[in-house]
A and B are shown apart, each in its own frame.
Chain A
Amino acid sequence: MSTYLPTDNPPDEPSRLVDDFVPTLIDVGAHHLCPGCGEPIAMRCVMEAIDERELTARSVAVFGIGCYTAFSNNLDIEVLQALHGRAPSLATGVKRSKPSTIVVTIQGDGDMVSEGLQEVLHAAARGENITCIMLNNGVFGETGGHMTATTVLGQRTKTSLEGRDAALHGRPILLSSLLAQIDGTAFVARGAVNSAGNVARTKKLLLRALTAQEQNAGFSFVEILTMCPTGWFIETEEAPDYLNDNLAAVHEPGVLKDVLGQ
Chain B
Amino acid sequence: MSDKETVTTRGTLVIDVDACKGCNLCIDACPPGVLVMTDIEVNSRGYRYPQLLAGCTGCKACSQICPDFVFQVYKYDTPQEHTS
Q: Residues of A with Cβ closer than 8 Å to B?
A: 2-5, 7-11, 13-22, 26, 29-31, 33-41, 44, 193, 195-196, 199-200, 229, 235-237, 239-240
Contact = CB atoms under 8 A, between A and B. Distances in A.
B15 A7 contact: yes
Nearest to A29: B69
B58 A18 contact: yes
B6 interface: no
A21 B25 contact: no
Given A5-B12, A36-B24, A21 B54 contact: no
A9 B14 contact: yes
B67 A36 contact: yes
A14, A21, A229, A235 interface centre (most CB from chain B within 10 Å): A21
B75 A236 contact: no
A18 B52 contact: no
Given A236-B23, A240-B28, A195 B67 contact: no
Interface residues of B, number: 48
B8 interface: no
A35 B69 contact: no
Interface string B15-35: 110010111110111010000
B60 A41 contact: no
B65 A41 contact: yes
B73 interface: yes
9 contacts: A2-B36, A3-B82, A17-B72, A17-B73, A34-B21, A36-B67, A195-B29, A196-B29, A236-B24
